[in-house]
Amino acid sequence: MMGTSVSPRSPPDPGIYRCRPFVQRVTPASGATIVVPGCPAIIIVTPAGTIAALTIQMPSVVQDGDEVELASSQIITALTFTGGTVLGAPPAVPAAFGNAGFVWSEADTVWYRYR
């Protein structure tokens, strides 16, 4: 009986497929929209004080495994995500210095919150 031999794929070399994240520092007013330019990205939100509402527009061009990190120095009362489905998206940043991380799943075509 002849069988088919399947060798496991080696994980991609991170030096080839990943680059340093784009760091975007923003000081938004309440009601603003932050557009994430691409992946990987770290968005650092540094408003003067508590923000009543903020929208994060996720990147439109993504690949499986792309990540977006969000950190805020202040409370954000209402946080909205656009530009794709974000599962587990926080509705707010309830405390100063809160953060969240998201990873894109090509198979599911959604962003998953992983922290």
Residue-level pLDDT at 20: 76
104: confidence class by pLDDT, cuts 50, 70, 90: very high
Query: Could you give the CA distance from residue 52 to residue 31 in angstroms, rounded to a whole number?
Result: 7
DSSP β-bridge partners for residue 101: 69
| Averaged confidence pLDDT in the chain | 86
The model's pLDDT over 4-14, given as tens digits with 9 standing for 90+, comes to 433 444 444 45
Alpha-carbon separation of residue 57 from 4, 16, 17, 67 (angstroms): 46, 27, 24, 14
22: confidence class by pLDDT, cuts 50, 70, 90: confident
The full set of domains in the chain, from first to last, is 19-113 (2.60.120)
Residue-level pLDDT at 91: 92
pTM of the model: 0.81
Query: Could you give the CA distance from residue 35 to residue 63 in angstroms, rounded to a whole number?
Result: 17
Reading the block at residue 45, the tokens are 């939100």
Reading the block at residue 62, the tokens are 């993504």
pLDDT average, residue stretch 104-115: 95
